[in-house]
Structure 1
């Protein structure tokens, strides 16, 4: 049973489900459903899909995640960044508004889901660690700016296009004379209202004596109020006849059964974008899930999260949706509203299903400017230029990576930005480990401790040099360490012993082993002993499987202090060697 519940977490929390959890989950579901209705419609339009696709992508995927996911608060569905990436990906293979475009979105969701499932089955959740957080923050910041800029056309009521910031701005400026005044009034008013709701509505309601929970629900329902008021205004004033773009007819039905396209050419064209969406979506989702879980001392299994998100995306592919992931804003709302279990997501799905059947006719006159305002307010909260200041102060290499990611995303588009983020993360890792910190250490007087000779008052012996590499030794940095030791020996003719203090070395790969063997031979020719100290067990096991220890021109010491005592013998005593 425990093995089965590992892959079906619902069997774990479901056995302990009680009336209290049910009450909390229902309240959270009501709040999140209210928030998701306008948000889902808006994100579908951002992806270039019909508005109902956002609702469909928020029903079955949530149900599947509640069965397979491990987070108690993560709310799965369409999110801004993934919606933008979806539009960028399928816009390359199909024309927006066509059946081929919708089919490509289904295929993209299926590919993304399959990749996530495979990564989960093979327990590859650790791969997300190869994307540095500063680079991801830079990409999300740039994507937020692109999304907000792309929605300005709906605020202005004009036609524009473009995938980069320069293209979008140029198109907006050239079409600015065609601005529709009623649309502009609706868009600006809705945007200003939604910004005020985020900060000012709850304090106002609390000052009027409304209980905290009721004030919180009313604040979360702010976008719904904007939707209702602007829809009534368009309908009552017949603004649709005056050029205000509206959502129009939305099918009044539950998610349909759909079949993705399996054309080899389409699969090949969408493979890389699907991989990028999978990685970015998983990183965003797992970050939110772990942050919220830590607040309640709960556990998140990254590999099972891959399976949960993979199942959600496969579900979206066969029910008229598009790629989904865990959203930051709705997950925080879900958590703050008191969600106890993933059942809150299932109840949210039920609420959205009711909305899909009963409420869709009511959004016929909903202005697209209001949905654009919803997106702009949501994504601008993702923009965080403080990451530039923080990385500049802490690490210029990290700053360069973040700045490059932001600039490339804005200048070349989302796909180039994601690719740059992945490449820069790997390059940054290789740069940091290619020249690891190597400290020359000496004995702290009166102790058995050894510290950096440049930071502490220590005792040294001119015949002994002890170096402590603070990084695993592998093909990227093996030659660097070899050259550093040889240069150090060449500068001091008195050196008779080189001790490699291995306390911080967790691994020595084959390339590093060959480098150590070459170093051993060079030092042996110079009548210098090469010694190891404080070698960790797993590293020693690997070394014992080779001839390195037999050929070593020195000894292996249990501790650095043992090496110090053994090697600081009188100069006329023969040097011990194996």
Structure 2
């Protein structure tokens, strides 16, 4: 019996199948298979130690880093928006998980693990709901200064939090003062062999990351040097495991991860003790959802643009949401798209999400066969690996650039950065967002209004303070460079009055409105008052270049019906009619009978 031709399948069923099966599966080309397999194997192998480290950073047993790289990755590969983004445990979600669960349960305990999965479930639900509501546009409201300041502050906290693994000092906290107090009160617990191992590994990781041109390229071809640099962390992990096993480091007081449970993650519903815990985690889940979306969509959209592919922010929201929801039921903690692992995925030749599926296979093999082999790995090495990799996230370059070009964004960066360090991740992010919006409101409340004149021989008008222009004694022309609303109407009125005082002979005021996209009720009242003040001083108010949508709003209001002057289609027309040589005697308000655009 043969299958029915596709044309005989009802269209509703065809549409349902198209929605169920992603395009990369139905259109998969066998020619892409070798590249996807190689990329998946490379990523899977290289991120095993990284995944273990991020689980430790989150306060979880190391094996949960591998759990987080299985079910969520499969779900995102099926429904995510990016063809090459590699999902998994990342530094930001790990430190935010540890910060949010601090004080709610003992690190590594069953209750702590359940709460971490609950956090993933809650964050995933928020992301999925945001995708269904098509809230992908929301990412544009987080300025570059805020996002860079948050990531930089979080990177510093992550760096400091790993000191406990390099020194054996049991420091704790979620702010810089908290870590400092905890550390200095326990300096006597410093373990020198652990420090020696951790410091040595840290220096080696730093040299590999930042001096690879001297370390590898001096004696290897460029292509081989590139892969040597990538494989070095894995090689160092293997060497550390061998040395730890032969030297019996665990018996010498050097903390090792021990034997990790063999087997795949189980499916279960995250449990919690009370709804107060859910209420406590909800704000963090919301902030994490925002950060995860911004960071992941930044990675996905960048590679989509480079590869000439389409990126849909709402699809990304739903993909991240479903991946974390699935992770919440499969012993995962919050995951996101990783900068480094995505770069490795792309550089290794990944063509489609099948590469991520292959990396999951590698993780499964690791869970089933490497549990005893990884046991001697010292925590100091994982801490050093995270510390060396996290330095690149401290983005002072953005602050320097903003300080030169946009002081408000530099202020947002500083407020977020120091807010994170002093008050924690959640409060720091909120502080940064508030400062960013406050700066935006302040900037809007101080609009630029220029007195302009006509460039000789042209119909162009420019700022009298910047150009050599023609001005008219009886005519004052001003260009309004912002929309008018309650926040800036008083400032606009004040600047206009100041300009009128500086030009006492001007009896005609023309406001160029080409940059005005909206005039709210408060601004309308300001313009009406301005017009009446001018009339009381035997002067007239005129407008030019009012946009059609703006005119639709104000045409039947006193802004126009009581206008002492005219509304001109162009400023040149205003000059032709209002200068001393051509001034009309008609003092009645009129509007040019022309279409407004």
Larger radius of gyration between Structure 1 and Structure 2 = 2
Aligned residue number for residue 368 of structure 1: 379
Taking the aligned partners of 2:519 and 2:130, their CA distance within structure 1 comes to: 27
Question: 2:257 matched to which residue of 1?
Answer: 247
Cα distance, 1:107–1:543 mapped onto 2, change above 3 Å: farther
Aligned to 1:495, what secondary structure does the other structure show?
Answer: coil
**Deviation readout 1:542-578 (Å, 9 max, x if unpaired):** 4457664434443332222233323325346334523
Q: Please state whether the residue corresponding to 2:417 is helix, strand or coil.
A: helix
2:320 pairs with 306, 309, 320, which one?
A: 309
SS of the residue aligned with 1:350? helix
Is structure 2 residue 238 aligned with structure 1 residue 225?
Answer: no
TM-score by length of 2: 0.89
Q: 2:248 aligns with which of 230, 238, 257?
A: 238
Aligned residue for 1:331?
Answer: 342
> How is 1:13-412 mapped onto 2 (pairs within 5 angstroms)?
13-200=24-211, 212=223, 215-261=225-271, 263-412=274-423
Question: For residues 205 and 18 of structure 2, what CA distance do their matches in structure 1 show?
Answer: 40
Task: Output the CA distance in 2 between the equivalents of 1:106 and 1:119.
Answer: 20
Q: Within 1, Cα distance between the matches of 2:378 and 2:112?
A: 23
- Whether 2:422 is the aligned partner of 1:414: answer no
Shift of 1:173: 3.4
Whole-angstrom distance in 2 between the partners of 1:29 and 1:80? 21
| Equivalent in the alignment of 2:5 | none
| C-alpha displacement of 1:81 | 1.6
The total of aligned residue pairs comes to 577
- Extract unaligned runs of 5+ from structure 1: none
- Distance in 2, matches of 1:540 and 1:356, equals 67
- Cα distance between partner residues in 2 of 1:445 and 1:153: 72
CA drift of 1:303 comes to: 2.1
- Counterpart residue number, 1:574: 586
Q: Kindly indicate whether the alpha-carbon contact (under 8 Å) linking 2:541 and 2:565 is maintained by their aligned counterparts in 1.
A: yes
CA distance in 2, matches of 1:351, 1:73: 17
1:96 aligns to what SS in structure 2? coil
Deviations 1:314-344 (A, max 9, x none): 1221111111111111122222222222332
Please give the alpha-carbon distance, in whole angstroms, between the structure 2 residues aligned to 1:21 and 1:546.
64
**1:483 and 2:494 aligned:** yes
Task: Give how far 1:15 is off.
Answer: 3.7
- 1:458 corresponds to which residue? 469
CA contact (8 A) 1:202 1:219 kept: no
Q: Which moved more, 1:415-424 or 1:260-269?
A: 260-269
The answer to whether the Cα contact below 8 Å between 1:234 and 1:240 also exists between their aligned partners in 2 is yes
**2:440 maps to 1:440:** no
Distance 1:335 1:71, change over 3 A: same
TM-fit CA distance, 1:273? 0.9
Most deviating of 540-549 and 464-473:
540-549
Instruction: State the shift of 1:147 in Å.
Output: 0.8
Moved more, 169-178 or 239-248: 169-178
CA distance in 2, matches of 1:576, 1:566: 14
**Contact 1:57-1:316 within 8 A present in 2 as well:** yes
Q: 1:218 to 1:449 in 2, by over 3 A?
A: same
Are the aligned partners of 1:202 and 1:216 in contact in 2 as well (CA < 8 Å)? Answer: no
Distance 1:510 1:255 in 2: 60
Distance change >3 Å, CA 203–CA 29, structure 1 → 2: farther
Does the 8 Å contact 2:564/2:588 carry over to 1?
no
Q: 1:161 to 1:503 in 2, by over 3 A?
A: same
Q: Is the 8 A contact 1:182 1:239 kept in 2?
A: no
Distance 1:236 1:45 in 2: 24
1:50 Cα deviation from its structure 2 partner: 1.6
Mapped partners of 2:214, 2:324: distance in 1: 38
Cα deviation 1:55-106 (Å, max 9, x = unaligned): 1112222222222222222222211122111111111433323322222212
Distance 1:572 1:385, change over 3 A: closer
- Equivalent-residue separation in structure 2 for 1:121 and 1:94 (angstroms): 33
Residues 541 and 312 of structure 1: is their aligned pair in 2 closer, same or farther, counting only changes over 3 Å?
Answer: farther
- Asked if structure 1 preserves the Cα contact closer than 8 Å seen for 2:241 and 2:374, the reply is yes
**1:118 to partner: Cα distance:** 2.0
The 2-side partners of 1:51 and 1:218 are apart by 26
More deviation, 121-130/540-549: 540-549
* Gap change, CA 1:56 and 1:489, over 3 Å in 2: same
After superposition, the Cα gap between the structure-2 partners of 1:379 and 1:209, relative to the gap in structure 1 and judged at 3 Å, is: closer
For residues 234-278 of structure 1, what are the alpha-carbon distances to aligned partners after superposition, in whole Å with 9 as ceiling and x for unaligned? 221111011111112322122221213464312211111111111
CA offset digits 1:141-160 (Å, max 9, x no partner): 12111111110110112222
